């Protein structure tokens, strides 16, 4: 497809690879892109396991960024970061959780299709962000650009790898991955969510509360997506703006699915797709290949995987037929 | 005619045109879902139709050719979803989302040189003799272009086909109970393939109408979530083609109204105005779901479930 543009496709793919894993710096950018993907996808694994189709990580991520930015922009720069950063984390989790509980409630009480409600809430969150960025939260010295003021040092997540943008968020992400693995495999709650996903009627007969479990799982899923939004504004760009890459919310769906809904696999797949994202922006700058190629590559991988599942599930049958 | 009523007429006829962008994909998805295929790729198919329809119209200088090309592009992209979800029996929700991501990506890729290009050939309006003389209604509904008339005819034809013909019985049976219809000699997968393709044709057509007539230029992501609104309108229409226009024109009206308000220089921030269609869709979907539940009108029973002849 790239060859349509008169660019040698092999050279472009090579550049994409180098842009992702070629040098220490590009690899660090891959980690930066992988951080929000790991977080969001880990939250999605939990709800996808119960067959609750939360497509709203995009909006939950935005709400997390907005809620945490409120404190970053309004709390005095003299407050200790040991107080402010935890407050911002909690605020982002609450923001994302609220945005996830609305569709969960609508589904549980009125049976509103969650795919549609979460998607519509994404657009509503996006326009709230737009409103803030063009209105009350715009930096008066930004010359009309939709940017907030720069966060003070006490509202910035520390960078943990010198001379790169890799920040503390990656540590959160890794901790949450293992925590989620433990929750899903070892706790009663995790077990109940899996039963609901397998057979919700059976779960109801077994006395498992679908309402309580779904609300809790969605609050966790949305809360983690919100935290990813906080990590992005506080760890990477240090201000709130329109371009906070909420599309990670959609890419994370691909990650969760490629990882077969396993939190540990999420870690690896995120680095792979983070690499494609980082490499994509690299070849966009160097070879002027539009960034859209990233979406095409990612969706092609996903189609291939979905198609491949049949060979996994129906292997026995094929043999019998042959 | 007073100036106030002429504003109303202008606004309403814009609402019909804006609604047509939604009506076509909604009709297509109604048939696909009736046949048991949930396609979350409407947004992707629409934007593919929007870009390739725009390019074809631009190159041939003919909006009608552009529209047909847009439809075909949408239909072809739907075949990806059909292949993955029917033949390979993959998860339809994820496959549809992948189709949307694919559509947004591929149009960003090929659309770059076309950004901000304008399609300047006006599409002619035709007055329908007799009907166009009805006060208000004639001005609003029967002074439109051929695409709008096409959507009227299509809507009625689809309703007739679905409920009054054998073809329609097969289509509904496939989505309600695939095994039984297979036993009756209806080819389940062929039906599903065809109606998924059909849904893609109409989604592509809706997209092409957007970039050839309603907003005749190309911008990255120009469909702006209309595909998702169409998906919600399917529920609002209770899977009946005849009701599809109510929701479509309602949202066309909001779109036209907020556009008008912005043009008249209101002090309400544009971001809050732009939010209204999504907010209202959400409210309407909740309301429609509650009503449907009371009246026991549900989704097609086997919506989203792949059919495997060999499985028992």
pLDDT tens, residue by residue, B169-186: 999 999 888 888 888 888
pLDDT of residue B136: 84
Query: How does pLDDT run across B102-114, given as a tens digit for each residue?
Result: 999 999 989 989 9
pLDDT of residue B230 exceeding 70, the answer is: yes
Q: Do B235 and A116 touch (CB under 8 A)?
A: yes
> Residue A319 domain-assigned?
no
Comparing B22 with B224, the larger pLDDT belongs to B22
**Domain range holding B24?**
3-294
Residue numbers in B near A303 (CB within 8 A): 80, 84, 95, 98, 102
Residue B112 belongs to a domain: yes
| Residue for token pair 């991520």 | A61
Residue A256 located in a structural domain: yes
CATH number where B41 lies: 1.10.3470
Among residues A57, A118, A91, A89, the alpha carbon closest in space to that of A248 is found at: A57
Domain that holds residue A154: 38-266
Which residue does chain B place closest to A133, by CA atoms? B271
What is each CA distance from B209 to B67, B74, B107, in whole angstroms? 7, 12, 16
Q: Is residue A311 part of a domain?
A: no
For residues B157-161, average pLDDT:
96
Instruction: For CA atoms A153, A158, A161, A166, give the dihedral sign.
Output: negative
Q: Residue B25: what pLDDT?
A: 97
Residue of B110, B1, B98, B95 whose CA lies nearest to B48: B110
Q: Note whether A235 and A171 are within 8 A (CB).
A: no
Model pTM score: 0.88
pLDDT for the residue B196: 96
CA distances (Å), A188 to each of A50, A182, A184, A192, in order? 14, 11, 8, 6
In angstroms, rounded to a whole number, what is the distance separating the alpha carbons of residues B66 and B58?
Answer: 8
When scoring B93, B109, B312 by the number of chain A Cβ atoms within 10 A, the one with the most, hence best to mutate, is: B109
pLDDT of amino acid B274:
87
Nearest CA in chain A to B98: A299
| CB nearest to A292's CB, from B105, B274, B289 | B105
Nearest CB to B109 within list A113, A127, A293 = A293
- Look up the ipTM and state it: 0.86
What is the model's pLDDT at position B245?
93
- In angstroms, the CA B287 to CA B291 distance is 6
Number of domains in chain A: 1
Would B305 be classed as within a structural domain? Answer: no
- Is A25 domain-assigned? no
Nearest C-alpha of chain A: how many angstroms from B110? 8
Number of domains forming the structure of chain B: 1
- The minimal CB distance from B84 to the residues A295, A297, A307 is found for A307
Does B303 map to a domain?
A: no
Shortest alpha-carbon distance between residue B80 and chain A (Å): 8
Is the minimum CB–CB distance between A160 and chain B shorter than 8 Å? no
Q: Are A40 and A257 in contact (CB under 8 A)?
A: no
Instruction: Say how far apart CA A161 and CA A164 lie, in whole Å.
Output: 6
The yes-or-no verdict on residue B5 having pLDDT over 80 is: no
Decide if A250 touches B, using CB distance below 8 A: yes
Please give the torsion angle defined by the CA atoms of residues A274, A280, A281 and A283, in that order, rounded to the nearest 10 degrees: 140
Q: Are B284 and A106 in contact (CB under 8 A)?
A: no
Predicted confidence (pLDDT) per residue in B234-293, tens digit: 988 889 999 999 999 999 999 888 888 888 877 888 888 889 889 998 998 899 888 887
Helix (H) / strand (E) containing A34: helix A24-49
> Cα distance from A177 to chain B (closest Cα, Å)?
22
Please say whether the beta carbons of B211 and B53 come within 8 A.
Answer: yes
Q: φ, ψ for residue B217 (rounded to 5)?
A: -155, 170
Chain B nearest CA to A129, separation (Å): 9
pLDDT per residue of chain A (322 residues) written in tens, 0 to 9: 555 555 566 777 777 777 777 788 888 989 999 999 999 999 999 999 999 999 999 999 999 999 999 999 999 889 898 999 999 999 999 999 999 999 999 999 998 989 889 999 999 999 999 999 988 898 888 787 888 988 998 999 889 888 889 999 999 999 999 999 999 999 999 999 999 988 888 888 888 899 999 999 999 999 999 999 999 999 999 999 988 887 898 889 989 998 989 999 999 999 999 998 888 887 787 777 888 888 888 888 888 888 777 666 554 444 444 3
């Amino acid at each position: 497809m790239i060859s349509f543009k008169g660019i040698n496709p092999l050279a472009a793919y090579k550049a994409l690879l180098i842009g992702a894993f070629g040098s220490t710096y590009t690899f660090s950018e891959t980690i930066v892109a992988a951080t929000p993907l790991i977080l969001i996808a880990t939250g999605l694994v939990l709800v996808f396991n119960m067959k609750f189709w939360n497509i709203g990580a995009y909006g939950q991520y935005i709400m997390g960024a907005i809620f945490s930015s409120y404190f970053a922009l309004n709390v005095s720069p003299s407050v200790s970061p040991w107080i402010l950063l935890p407050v911002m984390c909690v605020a982002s989790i609450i923001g994302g959780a609220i945005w996830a509980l609305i569709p969960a409630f609508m589904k549980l009480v009125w049976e509103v299709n969650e795919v549609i409600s979460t998607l519509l809430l994404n657009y509503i969150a996006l326009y709230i962000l737009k409103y803030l960025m063009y209105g009350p939260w715009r930096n008066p010295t930004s010359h009309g650009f939709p940017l907030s003021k720069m966060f003070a040092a006490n509202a910035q997540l520390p960078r943990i790898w010198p001379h790169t943008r890799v920040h503390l968020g990656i540590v959160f992400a890794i901790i949450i991955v293992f925590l989620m693995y433990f929750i899903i495999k070892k706790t009663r709650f995790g077990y109940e969510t899996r039963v609901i996903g397998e057979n919700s009627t059976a779960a109801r007969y077994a006395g498992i509360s679908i309402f309580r479990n779904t609300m809790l799982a969605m609050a966790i899923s949305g809360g983690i997506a919100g935290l990813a939004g906080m990590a992005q504004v506080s760890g990477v760009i240090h201000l709130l703006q329109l371009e906070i890459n909420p599309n990670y919310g959609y890419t994370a769906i691909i990650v969760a699915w490629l990882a077969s809904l396993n939190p540990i696999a999420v870690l690896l797949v995120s680095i792979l797709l983070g690499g494609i994202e980082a490499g994509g922006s690299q070849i966009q700058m160097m070879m002027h290949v539009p960034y859209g190629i990233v979406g095409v590559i990612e969706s092609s991988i996903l189609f291939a995987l979905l198609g491949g599942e049949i060979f996994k599930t129906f292997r026995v049958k094929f043999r019998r037929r042959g | 005619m007073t100036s106030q009523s002429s504003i109303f007429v202008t606004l309403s006829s814009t609402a019909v045109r804006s609604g047509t962008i939604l009506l076509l994909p909604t009709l297509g998805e109604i048939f696909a879902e009736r046949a048991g295929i949930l396609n979350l790729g409407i947004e992707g198919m629409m934007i593919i139709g929007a870009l390739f329809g725009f390019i074809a119209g631009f190159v041939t200088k003919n909006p009608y050719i552009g529209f047909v090309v847009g439809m075909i592009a949408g239909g072809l992209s739907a075949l990806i979803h059909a292949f993955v979800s029917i033949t390979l029996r993959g998860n339809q929700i994820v496959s549809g989302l992948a189709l949307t991501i694919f559509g947004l990506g591929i149009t960003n890729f090929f659309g770059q040189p076309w950004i901000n290009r304008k399609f300047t050939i006006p599409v002619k309006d035709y007055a329908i003799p007799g009907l166009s003389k009805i006060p208000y209604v004639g001005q609003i509904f029967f002074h439109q272009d051929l695409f709008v008339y096409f959507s009227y005819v299509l809507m009625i034809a689809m309703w007739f086909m679905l409920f009054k013909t054998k073809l329609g019985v097969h289509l509904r049976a496939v989505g309600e109970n695939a095994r039984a219809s297979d036993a009756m000699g209806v080819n389940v997968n062929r039906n599903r393939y065809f109606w998924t393709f059909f849904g893609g044709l109409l989604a592509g057509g809706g997209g092409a109408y957007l970039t050839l007539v309603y907003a005749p230029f190309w911008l990255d992501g120009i469909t702006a979530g209309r595909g998702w609104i169409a998906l919600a309108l399917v529920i609002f229409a209770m899977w009946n083609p005849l009701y599809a226009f109510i929701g479509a024109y309602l949202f066309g009206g909001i779109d036209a109204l907020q556009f008008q308000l912005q043009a008249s220089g209101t002090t309400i921030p544009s971001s809050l105005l732009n939010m209204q269609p999504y907010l209202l869709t959400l409210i309407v979907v909740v309301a429609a779901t509650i009503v449907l539940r009371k009246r026991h009108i549900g989704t097609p029973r086997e919506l989203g479930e792949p059919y495997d002849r060999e499985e028992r």
